[in-house]
């Protein structure tokens, strides 16, 4: 029997057409790395992210021209558009006017109460949500002086300060993030904050790093929090094509049996019995499945003798060796063929299963 994670109940909000918090599925987000002014490149990247399963997208808005470009971007995408704002509250107002469905701001660098109120008033009128984003690297000076350095407690104090201000201004359509590049500090901060608020939490490890190290840090930090029931949305921050962020995000959710969107691949680590190019086969299959949405478990094994037995829980699997390939399901062989047809036969079977699902 699978272990079920008991998720903390938070107050739901609406981010465009995506519900966040409450009983809504944990959503996977990302951020473009194109120049927002380059509308064509930005839209093309968002379309690739949509195909990969991205559910909410954030774009940088460093200047007024970028804010105005959001209007054309919004027309050409399907998922909610979030404007990432720093320092200038006028950029937030212009982004809302251009059609952004959400803002990400750090109130600490926006300015005084008057500027925050003007953003909130505009957000109320347009039913825009706001993410209060607290980062260890940009805490207020008085909190750094009080705590000595950006501790988890300092980050939480900053977040609670901003939440209180938003409540005073009668605005509750908010979610909170409280990130550091340090995994344990981030986890501690989210644990503390989760005890003090019922607003939805957006979880992640900021500036996590490259594909390899960033995936490890994100899987640890985000995974620890999700396993404790903390988190309503997530973003994996990688120095990489943002499509990889979405893939890793869903892999974390699959590993915890929280959400299954798209295929899950299991494969053997190889040993002396393996006499096929398993690394290349797995890479080829992963690329072929990038836009597949069928939630099935796929096994890719390097030994026709033990492969099916070791992957009995897989919905579909392939194994090869000594020139022969086999296709199996739930541990039972259903087809044999030449080894060089392994990937083709697997993809054909996946497509067959997709057709069955769409035409039951």
13-255 sits in which CATH class? alpha beta
Candidates 325, 327, 323; CA nearest to 311 is 327
What digits encode the pLDDT tens for the residues 314-359? 888 888 888 888 888 887 888 899 988 999 998 888 888 777 766 6
State the virtual CA torsion across 13, 15, 18, 22 in degrees, nearest 10.
-20
State the virtual CA torsion across 95, 100, 104, 105 in degrees, nearest 10.
30
Specify the domain boundaries for CATH 3.20.20.20 within the chain: 13-255
Low-confidence spans in the chain with pLDDT less than 70 = 1-2, 304-310, 357-360
Q: What pLDDT, on a 0 to 100 scale, did the predictor assign at position 48?
A: 94
Q: How far apart are CA 328 and CA 316, in angstroms?
A: 6
Q: What pLDDT, on a 0 to 100 scale, did the predictor assign at position 103?
A: 97
Strand pairing report for 316-321 and 324-329: antiparallel
Fold annotation for 264-358: Sulfite Reductase Hemoprotein; domain 1 (3.30.413)
Question: Quick one: the chain helix, strand, coil %, rounded to 5?
Answer: 45, 20, 35
233 φ/ψ angles, rounded to the nearest 5 degrees: -140, 160
Q: What pLDDT, on a 0 to 100 scale, did the predictor assign at position 301?
A: 84
Q: How far apart are CA 70 and CA 101, in angstroms?
A: 11
Numbers of helices and strands, H then E, in the chain: 13, 15
3-state secondary structure of 300: strand
Q: How many CB atoms lie within 10 A of CB 180?
A: 23
What digits encode the pLDDT tens for the residues 240-298? 999 999 989 999 999 998 988 778 888 888 777 777 888 888 888 888 887 777 788 88
Partners of 201 in the beta sheet? 176
pLDDT above 90 covers a percentage of the chain that reads 58
Q: What are the helix (H) ranges across the chain?
A: 39-52, 64-75, 89-98, 107-110, 113-126, 141-147, 152-168, 183-194, 211-227, 242-255, 278-288, 307-310, 342-358
Long-range pairs for 300-304: beta carbons < 8 A, 24 or more residues apart: 300/265, 300/266, 300/267, 300/268, 300/346, 301/267, 301/268, 302/267, 302/268, 302/270, 302/271, 302/273, 302/274, 302/275, 302/276, 302/278, 303/268, 303/271, 303/273, 303/274
The residue written with tokens 């909610």 in the block is 80
Q: What pLDDT, on a 0 to 100 scale, did the predictor assign at position 304?
A: 67
Q: How far apart are CA 8 and CA 110, in angstroms?
A: 31
Q: What pLDDT, on a 0 to 100 scale, did the predictor assign at position 350?
A: 84
Q: How many CB atoms lie within 10 A of CB 8?
A: 15
Which two three-digit tokens encode residue 152? Answer: 């988890």
CB 30 within 8 A of CB 54: yes
Q: What pLDDT, on a 0 to 100 scale, did the predictor assign at position 358?
A: 63
């Amino acid at each position: 029997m699978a272990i079920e994670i008991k998720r903390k109940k938070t107050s739901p909000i609406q981010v465009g057409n995506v519900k966040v918090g409450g009983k809504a599925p944990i959503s996977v987000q990302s951020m473009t790395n194109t120049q927002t002014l380059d509308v064509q490149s930005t839209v093309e990247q968002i379309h690739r992210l949509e195909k990969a399963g991205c559910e909410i997208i954030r774009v940088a808005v460093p200047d007024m021209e970028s804010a105005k470009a959001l209007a054309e971007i919004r027309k050409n995408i399907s998922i909610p558009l979030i404007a990432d704002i720093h320092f200038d509250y006028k950029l937030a107002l212009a982004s809302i006017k251009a059609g952004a469905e959400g803002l990400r701001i750090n109130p600490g660098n926006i300015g005084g109460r008057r500027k925050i109120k003007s953003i909130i008033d505009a957000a109320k009128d347009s039913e825009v949500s706001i993410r209060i984003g607290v980062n260890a690297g940009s805490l207020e000076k008085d909190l750094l002086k009080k705590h000595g350095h950006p501790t988890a407690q300092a980050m939480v104090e900053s977040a609670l300060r901003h939440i209180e201000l938003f409540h005073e201004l009668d605005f509750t359509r908010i979610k909170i993030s409280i990130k550091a590049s340090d995994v344990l500090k981030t986890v501690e901060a989210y644990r503390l904050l989760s005890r003090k608020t019922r607003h939805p939490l957006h979880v992640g490890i900021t500036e996590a790093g490259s594909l390899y190290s960033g995936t490890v840090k994100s899987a640890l930090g985000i995974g620890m929090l999700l396993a404790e029931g903390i988190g309503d949305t997530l973003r994996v921050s990688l120095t990489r094509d943002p499509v990889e962020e979405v893939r890793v995000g869903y892999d974390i959710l699959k590993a915890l049996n929280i959400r299954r969107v798209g295929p899950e691949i299991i494969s053997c680590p190889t040993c002396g019995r393996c006499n096929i190019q398993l690394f290349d086969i797995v890479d080829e299959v992963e690329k072929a499945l990038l836009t597949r949405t069928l939630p099935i478990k796929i096994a890719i094994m390097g030994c026709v003798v033990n492969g099916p037995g070791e992957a009995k829980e897989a919905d579909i699997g392939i194994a090869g060796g000594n020139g022969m390939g086999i296709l199996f399901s739930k541990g039972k062989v259903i087809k044999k063929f030449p080894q060089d047809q392994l990937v083709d036969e697997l993809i054909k079977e996946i497509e067959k299963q997709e057709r069955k699902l769409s035409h039951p």
